[in-house]
């Protein structure tokens, strides 16, 4: 039985994660974590979240229950997430991170911390998205240099970072497929009177509206034809179930930096000729 702590458990993804844990065999929620000093600390879980069955108390101190935790799942904000990972490294607890919006410096700190604990770092935990990333890399190898490439992503009106972490990861996969450096071909600020497409660039567009869970499209526009590859998430349980799967996997791994391709075994699947 894998014992899981959910950081920022009162957030949208935190609640989805706790629900997924309650409905997944082989895992149990041992630490629903809130920010230090939160007004709900000590309250029964199912009082604040009626969709859950458990009445265990909400807590704000991971160290207090470290011996009862096999792995921490974190979907929060960059600064808070990084502080949590540092705490996990100190306590030698594996961690699964779905937080997006990290700066380059923060990502480097996370990678350094993965020298101390098993860490799964992925902007999107869904099986479909991670399969899409592999497909995009293959498509980019085949037609990327003959295409104008655009990535269009849509999310709910409350999402703070743009482009989304998934959109950026799609861009990285495409750049890898073409043998290019992502930072040199990404185009985020196309606007104004001099906004003509730069040859070989990967353009990004972000939509924030309503309650869209997450939609991502990669467009490869060639002369006379276009290829679109789209992933649409209809429910946050898609991400939550993937994160729980990653947590079960991470709890059994040696120290290191991993992503969802490792969790799902996609590298081996694509490299052995199955695709």
* Catalytic positions: 155, 159
Quick count: other Cβ atoms within 10 Å of Cβ 43? 16
Q: Hey, what's the torsion of the CAs at 99, 134, 239, 67, to 10 degrees?
A: -60
* Cβ atoms < 10 Å from Cβ of 47: 12
Alpha-helical runs (H) found in the chain: 12-22, 45-48, 78-91, 104-113, 127-143, 165-178, 182-185, 237-250, 260-264, 266-271
CA–CA separation, 204 vs 110, rounded Å?
A: 25
Report d(CA 117, CA 81) in Å as an integer: 15
Host H or E run for residue 4: strand 2-7
Q: How far is CA 153 from the centre of its chain?
A: 15
- Rounded-to-integer distance, Cα 72 and Cα 85, Å: 9
| Closest C-alpha among 228, 214, 237, 94 to residue 155 | 214
Other CB atoms within a 10 A radius of the CB of residue 220 amount to: 21
| DSSP, residue by residue, 182-200 | HHHHEE----SS--PPPTT
């Amino acid at each position: 039985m894998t014992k899981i702590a959910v950081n920022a458990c009162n957030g949208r993804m935190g609640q989805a994660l706790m629900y997924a844990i309650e409905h997944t065999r082989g895992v149990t929620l041992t630490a629903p974590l809130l920010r230090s000093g939160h007004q709900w600390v000590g309250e029964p879980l199912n009082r604040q979240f009626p969709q859950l069955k458990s009445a265990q108390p909400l807590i704000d101190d991971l160290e207090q229950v470290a011996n009862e935790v096999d792995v921490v799942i974190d979907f929060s904000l960059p600064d808070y997430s990084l502080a949590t990972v540092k705490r996990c490294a100190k306590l030698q607890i594996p961690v699964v991170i779905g937080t997006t919006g990290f700066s380059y410096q923060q990502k480097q700190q996370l990678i350094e911390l993965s020298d101390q604990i098993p860490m799964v770092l992925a902007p999107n935990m869904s099986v479909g998205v991670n399969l899409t990333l592999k497909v995009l890399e293959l498509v980019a190898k085949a037609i990327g240099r003959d295409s104008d490439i655009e990535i269009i992503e849509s999310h709910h009106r409350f999402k703070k970072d743009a482009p989304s972490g998934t959109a950026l990861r799609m861009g990285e996969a495409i750049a890898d497929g073409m043998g290019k450096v992502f930072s040199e071909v990404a185009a985020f600020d196309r606007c104004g009177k001099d906004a003509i497409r730069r040859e070989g660039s990967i353009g990004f567009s972000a939509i924030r509206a309503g309650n869209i869970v997450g939609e991502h499209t990669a467009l490869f526009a060639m002369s006379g034809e276009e290829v679109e590859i789209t992933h649409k998430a209809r429910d946050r349980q898609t991400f939550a179930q993937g994160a729980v799967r990653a947590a079960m996997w991470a709890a059994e791994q040696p120290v290191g930096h991993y992503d969802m391709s490792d969790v799902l075994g996609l590298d081996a699947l694509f490299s052995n000729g199955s695709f």
